[in-house]
Amino acid sequence: MIHTLHLHTKQRDEMIEITRLIHDLLKQEQLEEGLAVIYCPHTTAGITIQENADPDVRHDVLMRLDEVYPWTHPKYRHAEGNTASHLKAITTGSSQTVLVAGSRLVLGRWQGIYFCEFDGPRERSCLVKFIRG
């Protein structure tokens, strides 16, 4: 079964922690061991694993992505004007795979799973598939 998380983003760029939502789905699946695949079906958003203890990390990551990929650039040609969003999504990637052991996501002490919005605000979805094994 593929689960769909429905997310409403509020800013052009933001990182929304979805670890708890995925953990809740894992409980429903009653999976003891296997994999969790988290996938973003959007070209201007991504999925990453990052520190979840200090919110300043999210701020700093988004700030630096803006510096590397400015919203406007004289050489951008994409008519929609969101080339920076596509570049940021390429950088973060569209999916993450997380081990499951003991009915829990295997994440480091300070790690969380994030949906990364780069072209908001929008209504978004995130797909989650658990694989037994």
Beta strands of 29-133 (E only): which ranges? 33-39, 45-51, 95-101, 104-105, 111-117, 123-132
Render pLDDT for 45-78 as a digit per residue (tens, 0 to 9). Answer: 999 999 999 999 999 999 999 999 999 888 889 8
Omega within 30 of 0 (cis) for the link into 121: yes
CB 14 within 8 Å of CB 62: yes
Alpha helix (H) ranges present in 3-131? 19-29, 55-68, 83-92
CATH number, residue 102: 2.60.120.460
Report how far residue 13's alpha carbon sits from residue 8's, in angstroms, rounded to the nearest whole number.
12
User: What CA–CA distance (Å, rounded) separates 64 from 87?
Assistant: 13
Per-position pLDDT tens, the chain of length 133: 999 999 999 999 999 999 999 999 999 999 999 999 999 999 999 999 999 999 999 999 999 999 999 998 888 898 888 999 999 999 999 999 999 999 999 999 999 999 999 999 999 999 999 999 8
Q: Residue 20 corresponds to which amino acid?
A: R
Return d(Cα 107, Cα 124) in angstroms, integer.
Answer: 24
| Count: domains in the chain | 1
By CB atoms closer than 10 A (0-12, 13-18, 19+), residue 73 is exposed
Per-residue model confidence (pLDDT) at position 50: 97
Residue range(s) defining the domain that contains residue 100: 2-132
pTM, full prediction: 0.95
